[in-house]
Amino acid sequence: MTNSIHQHHTVPAARFAVLGHPVAHSRSPRMHEANFAALGLDATYEAFDVTEADLAERLDALQRAEYTGLNLTIPLKARALELVDEATPLACFLGGVNTLLFRADGSRLGDNTDGFGFLMALRDAGVPKLTGQRTLLLGCGGTGRALALTCARAGIAELTLANRTIARAEAVAGAVRAAFPSLEVHVLQSDPEAWRHAAQSSDLIVHTTSQGLGADDAPLLTREAFHPGQLIFDAIYTAEKTPILREAEAAGARGFNGLGMLTHQGAQSFRIWTGREPDIEAMRRGVRG
């Protein structure tokens, strides 16, 4: 055990962190630490609660402290895009940065691995492609926007957007229509009946709202909205079965939570930071906890 005491007094060779608000629930530190251990890397990964107003200052401080790379989560992704020197075409397209690399020359590269993580998670769930899927997206925040554009680019047949604030759904619809003029895009009224009706006629339902983060939260849609043959993806990963997944599965639909997406987007972040291949199995074990 002596060497662990010793480590606290030495700065690790590489330091990483996730920034968000809130961030205490994040499983990213466990996931990345498990990968570092499996690969024998001298590295650490922390979680910092940072507000949008403080992001610029915090990035400067972490860069001065010689961090290698960061993940950004809710609500910092769009703001981070404004604070990098270079953003990949994908980050620009998705409208946010979730992976930031501090380069040796002092510049900052911003990338986005959310869409990649989502598509890889679907592939793991036995859905290698989304061509022709009628898709309902619940929640049009930063993750919702990234997944709406990802689905559109993956060739879905039709996209329906639902959000409590309609203006936000309209903004995402505008971004999708601009990039994919031939795709049929609908925006729903903020009405439970309309959402249920849209769910009934969808092949893929993607849930990105925070409803369900609390174990006692009421599900956004109940089992009448679902039927066998549908696929329900919930970006929430803090519970194996979130409220909406329980309802969907009771109706015979297939559901899966956000753990796969988190794992794959984290693995891709690691590749961007280090140029190395991660130990995905170690990351899966770490994230499950």
Active-site residue set: 77
Q: Write the DSSP string, the chain.
A: -HHHHHHTTS--SEEEEEEESS-TT--HHHHHHHHHHHHT--EEEEEEE--GGGHHHHHHHHHHTT--EEEE-TT-HHHHHTT-SEE-HHHHHHT--SEEEE-TTS-EEEE--HHHHHHHHHHHTT----TT-EEEEE--SHHHHHHHHHHHHTT-SEEEEE-SSHHHHHHHHHHHHHH-TTSEEEE--S-HHHHHHHHHT-SEEEE-SSTTSSTTPPPSS-GGG--TT-EEEE---SSSS-HHHHHHHHTT-EEE-THHHHHHHHHHHHHHHHSS---HHHHHHHHH-
Comparing CA positions, the residue from 26, 28, 63, 58 lying closest to residue 44 is 28
